[in-house]
Chains A and B, each alone.
Chain A
Amino acid sequence: MNIRAIAAVLAATVALPLGAAHATDLEVTHWWTSGGEAAAVAELAKAFNATGNKWVDGAIAGSGGTARPIMISRITGGDPMAATQFNHGRQAEELVQAGLMRDFTDLAKKEGWDKIVRPAGLLKSCTFEGKIYCVPLNIHSWQWLWLSNDAFKKAGVAVPKNWDEYVAAAPALEKAGIVPLAVGGQAWQSTGLFSVLTVAIGGKEIYQKVYGDKDAKVAAGPEMAKVFKAADDARKMSKGTNVQDWNQATNMVITGKAGGQIMGDWAQGEFQLAGKKAGVDYTCLPGLGVNEVISTAGDAFYFPVLKDAAKTKAQEALASTLLDAKTQVAFNLKKGSLPVRGDVDLAAANDCMKKGLEILAKGNVVTSTDQLITQDTQKQLEDLMSQFFANTSITAEEAQKRFVAIFSKAG
């Protein structure tokens, strides 16, 4: 018997199931529905289709708050999709604990994810009991202040370089009929703004102690009191915004109706779409110009456990595609986010993105709130912050007391 013949037969048996695995349809759910986001998703679909499989798009409109309950009820209800988006962190924690998500440790070892993904915290938040359950895709950071250069020109003051100058410039803006700070009415926006203030005014350590260690003493301390004082300023400056969605608030900055907005780097897509140029039409200040630190929030893909062998195989192909250097560049340029790989070239990035990359390279990062606190705590904070921003009869001291109460019970 010829060894070659045996090898050929063996190869054929291996190749056959592989051949069947190709051309598998995988349904992928996500909540990327705005123009720029859809373009970014199209890049992922293109890259995945190139592997011989088929990306079946399952976009759910209405932001993560609407999409996540739908995704979760599909997974827990026994009708899982092949892959789904969540934010980095604890949103899928219980699904993983319940054994509903697929373990990718072997693939991660084979492809050396621990070497390419940076910052390492991203992979850590995918890890549960030493096993890897998700694929980080991009990095979004909250810590940005977007300023309209036109608005400040109209008010006759210089474009501020940090938070204090900005607060000082607020009366001049108000006099010119401009809302100093645009804050949309949705609860997550004021809550995010507060976490940005904590990092910028309180500093990295305070943020880590409060949000990370849930240290009630620090939360009640004088540093956090300063943060609440700043939030009180922000509340006064945001009076008269009267819009709900974040992109409507961003639009106020773009059109010069508002002086600025504290919003994550996804706001950048709106400026780009409106044809505005960084540094000329608008200014971006990471960490509010005080503490140049960014958080590593963002999106990750999770893969529910499936029974179908062909689909299970295709899930692996999708996982490798998402972390592929080429996909990372194509996707993140369109999305306006930063890649999770440190070894890719982003020459086409704009000024604000480059600022972000620099900070990331220096390692000035904090873990995002999504990774540190549960959805339950997040919701309680949202209730507190949205009430605080809408109702001026609540003093900063009262709000801090309630803030402490939330963290003293948080898990």
Chain B
Amino acid sequence: MAAHTQPGRPNQLFRNLNSKIASIPMMLTAVVIFLGGTIWTVVYSFTNSKLLPRLSFVGLDQYERLWDTPRWIVSIQNLATYGCFSLIFSLTIGFLLAALMDQKIRFENTFRTIFLYPFALSFIVTGLVWQWILNPEFGVQSVIRSLGWTSFTFDPLYNSDIVIYGILIAALWQGTGLVMCLMLAGLRGIDEDIWKAARVDGIPMWKTYLFIIIPMMRPVFVTTLVIIASGIVRIYDLVVAQTSGGPGIASDVPAKYVYDYMFFAQNLGQGFAASTMMLLAVAIIIVPWAYLEFGGRKRG
């Protein structure tokens, strides 16, 4: 009996063989490159590797040194400031622009292109452009001074206390266009009837947006949040192009610390420790939240 059914029920492993074979390269990439690389980095962050990786473990020394380093603390603070403001502003500005764009205005396509255009530029180009705009000798300051207001001072990139906001301006200029487009797509996905119903009930427009439309756009907001958040953690090129971390170390960010210590200081262990901390931060904040958000919906 058993011998009779076996050819009829092929092994589970060979079901859908074609698609399984096709996904092997991607699975290998994910496991070997991403997971393998991550584990390798974490393991070597406990060693005293200098220029070349070597397995001589020193426990938590690299982490102790990391958290004793003023530059690391500064870069974490910068990331926090930059992250909070970037999240708040790009969401608000992006949503406002999208809402305005949704008022059946003329030339919508033109405006959309204009707002989205900065996103087509790389961070390096954006950084250089804003470096010039914010330069006190050629940029905004000199233009306004030449208009007659000679005491006007606006040099965020040369002032340690506010330099991170100079970078924030450039990042918002580059990023809000994309947020606007995502939001606009979300707004377009809302049924016309809901608007009509709200109008019949006499609900003012701002209230409709705030209490009806926005809650309905939750999935769009989540997607946008993930995109913005991942952009915040990996910020590097914009800082390099605009200030290269200066003045002094005032605009440093974690990714730049990692790069500098791995390649300039020839201290791989320290760089790995810093990048592991970055990974940990991402894991602590994003993973449980994303799990609730995406994993939860599938079940419910």
Contacts and interface: CB of A to CB of B under 8 A. Distances in A.
A69 interface: yes
A95 B52 CA distance: 8
B250 A94 contact: no
A389 to B, nearest CB: 7
A376 B158 contact: no
B264 A409 contact: no
A243 to B, nearest CB: 10
Given A386-B246, A390-B246, A390-B248, A65 B264 contact: yes
Given A72-B51, A402-B70, A409-B65, A376 B267 contact: yes
Given A386-B248, A390-B246, A390-B250, A379 B265 contact: yes
A95 B51 CA distance: 8
A93 B136 CA distance: 43
Interface string B74-94: 100000000000000000000
Interface string B190-222: 000000000000000000000000000000000
A376 B50 contact: yes
A380 interface: yes
A94 B248 contact: no
B68 to A, nearest CB: 8
A409 B267 CA distance: 14
Interface in B9-38: none
Categorize the interface residue count of chain B.
20 to 34
A94 B52 contact: yes
B117 interface: no
B265 A94 contact: no
Nearest to A402: B70
A45 B146 CA distance: 51
A341 B244 CA distance: 39
Interface string B56-78: 00000000010011110010000
A391 B265 contact: no
Interface in B145-186: 158, 160
Nearest to B267: A376
Specify the main secondary structure of chain A where it touches its partner: helix
A98 interface: yes
A185 B65 contact: no
B237 interface: no
A379 B136 CA distance: 29
Given A94-B51, A94-B52, A379-B260, A391 B266 contact: no
Contact of A376 (B71, B160, B270): B270
B158 A387 contact: no
A383 B264 contact: no
B52 A391 contact: no
Contacts of A186: 244
A386 B265 contact: no
Contact of B70 (A65, A376, A387, A409): A387
A312 interface: no
B247 A390 contact: yes
A320 interface: no
A76 interface: yes
A378 interface: yes
B249 interface: yes
A375 B265 contact: yes
Contact of A387 (B71, B244, B267): B71
A242 B155 CA distance: 11
A388 interface: yes
Contacts of B270: 376
Contacts of B246: 185, 244, 386, 390
A208 interface: no
A402 to B, nearest CB: 7
A374 interface: yes
B263 interface: yes
Contact of B248 (A244, A388, A405, A409): A388
A164 to B, nearest CB: 27
Contact of A379 (B74, B248, B264): B264
14 contacts: A68-B264, A93-B51, A94-B52, A242-B137, A242-B158, A375-B267, A376-B50, A376-B270, A379-B261, A386-B247, A386-B248, A387-B71, A387-B250, A389-B248
Interface of B: 50-52, 65, 68-71, 74, 136-137, 158, 160, 244, 246-250, 260-261, 263-267, 270
